């Protein structure tokens, strides 16, 4: 399949060169890429889900390595893996349901085997769907438990008799197509979800914004624009302060957009955030990613805003689509999940070059320019997350995340094959 390979390398290059901006666009492209990969993947007769998961994991590994900072890629890969697992389990349980009924209606001696396998598969289904718990960790179930159960089912049914085996194999073929079909269907749904998450979040705007409120935001986020405009459409009149978000000045674009939609907007400098926050009722911002502990990777400067909001007891609300939820717990996120941009955004090279004595040869240059792209906002500074499924406390994020990802996929890196 040279076609998917080319697609993957093309996407990898784009990620590496940081040509794709914004987690939403990245998430959408990743999901579409994985969809085409799944549709072109040739599946073996047995353990299809395992094969599919393996293939997706291999690609996911490459993708996350290409841009480790863009966690949306990893999130989508994990979501797709979770979808595959779920579809596989639902197919297995469905077929087992049919089989056990068949077994019961059959003669007595065969009665044992299907029941046992059904029990095994049901257990497997439970473990896969069950959120991570200490028990599952201790039980040490192999990662492809569902697939193993399917294999067990195959064995037991083969012992049942030849005639039944033939019907099983044809059944198997249709199942393979069905799995792929179901998975692609579910991935399409996921893409749809990513596209509509703005609207779902914006619908909740009226619940949070009241008349004559003053709202502060920083930088630019499509979700924030939609959110504020949704409140505006519901005839709420309020005022928005926009901190410009240097050095990228996305606040300017945001302000322009808001004014075009008829909102009262005031642009302030980033340094005036602390001065103005005492007059603000609510801070509403977008996020780059939301971690499992409820911490937020956000555009640079937001940690400062969050601290100021905490000082003045102003609610700090983060809007995040489901694709931004990352099931990982961050370690030293200020550094490890950050990216340093070009110094030229802060300082003109030509301007400072005259006082730099490059000839002194002391080894290290005197001047460093630091231009980080993201900030980490710890969970204690966040008052509320608004996602497509509603508002959530930071401490609840890990639970929300457990609904969307399977515990086996948290680590995407493949272990060296033994």
Binding site for another protein (CB under 8 A): 241, 244-247, 249, 252-253, 255-256, 259, 262-276, 278-279, 300-301, 303-304, 307-308, 311, 334, 338, 344-348, 351-352, 355-356, 364, 366-372, 375-376
Nearer to another protein, 101 or 275 (CB): 275
Nearer to another protein, 6 or 335 (CB): 335
Euclidean distance between CA atoms 413 and 373, whole angstroms: 26
Angle between helices 112-129 and 71-105 (to 10 degrees): 160
Answer for the pair 185, 80: CB distance below 8 angstroms, yes or no: no
Euclidean distance between CA atoms 15 and 21, whole angstroms: 9
3-state SS, residue 371 = coil
Nearer to another protein, 21 or 162 (CB): 21
In whole angstroms, how close is the CB of 46 to another protein at the nearest point? 51
Nearer to another protein, 75 or 217 (CB): 217
In whole angstroms, how close is the CB of 94 to another protein at the nearest point? 51
Token output for 183:
């998975």
Nearer to another protein, 14 or 256 (CB): 256
Nearer to another protein, 104 or 346 (CB): 346
In whole angstroms, how close is the CB of 413 to another protein at the nearest point? 27
In whole angstroms, how close is the CB of 259 to another protein at the nearest point? 5
In whole angstroms, how close is the CB of 379 to another protein at the nearest point? 15
Answer for the pair 263, 294: CB distance below 8 angstroms, yes or no: no
Pairing of strands 264-268, 239-243: parallel
Picking from 415, 416, 406, 400, the residue whose alpha carbon sits closest to that of residue 124 is 406
Pairing of strands 264-268, 296-299: unpaired
Contacts of 210 (CB under 8 A, 6+ apart): 236, 238, 281
Answer for the pair 371, 346: CB distance below 8 angstroms, yes or no: yes
Answer for the pair 96, 90: CB distance below 8 angstroms, yes or no: no
In whole angstroms, how close is the CB of 202 to another protein at the nearest point? 20
φ and ψ of 2, to 5 deg: -70, -25
Contacts of 341 (CB under 8 A, 6+ apart): 247, 371, 372, 373
Partners of residue 285 on adjacent β-strands = 318
Nearer to another protein, 1 or 275 (CB): 275
In whole angstroms, how close is the CB of 256 to another protein at the nearest point? 5
């Amino acid at each position: 399949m040279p076609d998917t390979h080319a697609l993957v390398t093309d996407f990898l290059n784009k990620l590496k060169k940081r040509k794709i901006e914004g987690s939403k666009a990245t998430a959408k492209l990743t999901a579409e890429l994985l969809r085409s990969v799944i549709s072109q993947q040739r599946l073996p007769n047995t353990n299809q889900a395992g094969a599919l998961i393996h293939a997706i994991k291999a690609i996911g590994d490459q993708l996350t390595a290409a841009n480790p900072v863009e966690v949306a890629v990893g999130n989508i890969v994990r979501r797709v893996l979770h979808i595959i697992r779920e579809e596989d389990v639902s197919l297995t349980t469905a077929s087992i349901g049919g089989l056990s009924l068949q077994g019961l209606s059959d003669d007595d001696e065969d009665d044992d085997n299907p029941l046992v396998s059904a029990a095994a598969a049901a257990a497997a289904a439970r473990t896969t769907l069950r959120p991570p718990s200490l028990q599952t960790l201790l039980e040490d179930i192999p990662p492809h438990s569902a697939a193993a159960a399917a294999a067990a089912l195959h064995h037991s049914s083969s012992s049942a008799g030849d005639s039944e085996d033939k019907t099983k194999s044809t059944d198997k073929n249709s199942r393979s197509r069905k799995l792929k079909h179901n998975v692609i269907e579910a991935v399409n749904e996921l893409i749809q979800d990513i596209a509509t998450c703005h609207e779902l979040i914006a619908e909740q705007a009226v619940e949070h914004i009241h008349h004559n409120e003053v709202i502060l935001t920083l930088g630019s986020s499509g979700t924030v624009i939609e959110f504020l405009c949704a409140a505006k459409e519901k005839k709420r009149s309020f005022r928005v302060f926009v901190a410009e978000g240097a050095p990228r000045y996305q606040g300017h674009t945001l302000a322009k957009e808001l004014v075009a939609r008829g909102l009262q907007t005031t642009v302030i400098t980033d340094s005036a955030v602390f001065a103005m926050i005492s007059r603000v009722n609510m801070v509403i911002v977008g996020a780059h990613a939301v971690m499992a502990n409820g911490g937020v990777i956000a555009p640079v400067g937001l940690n400062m805003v969050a601290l100021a909001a905490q000082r003045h007891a102003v609610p700090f609300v983060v809007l995040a689509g489901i694709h931004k939820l990352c099931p990982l717990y961050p370690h030293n996120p200020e550094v490890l999940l950050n990216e340093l941009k070009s110094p030229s955004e802060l300082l003109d090279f030509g301007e400072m070059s005259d006082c730099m004595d490059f000839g002194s040869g002391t080894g290290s240059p005197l001047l460093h320019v630091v231009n980080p792209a993201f900030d980490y906002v710890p969970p204690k500074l966040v008052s509320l997350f608004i996602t497509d499924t509603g508002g959530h406390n930071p401490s609840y994020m890990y639970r929300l995340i457990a609904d969307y990802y399977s515990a086996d996929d948290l680590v995407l890196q493949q272990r060296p094959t033994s």
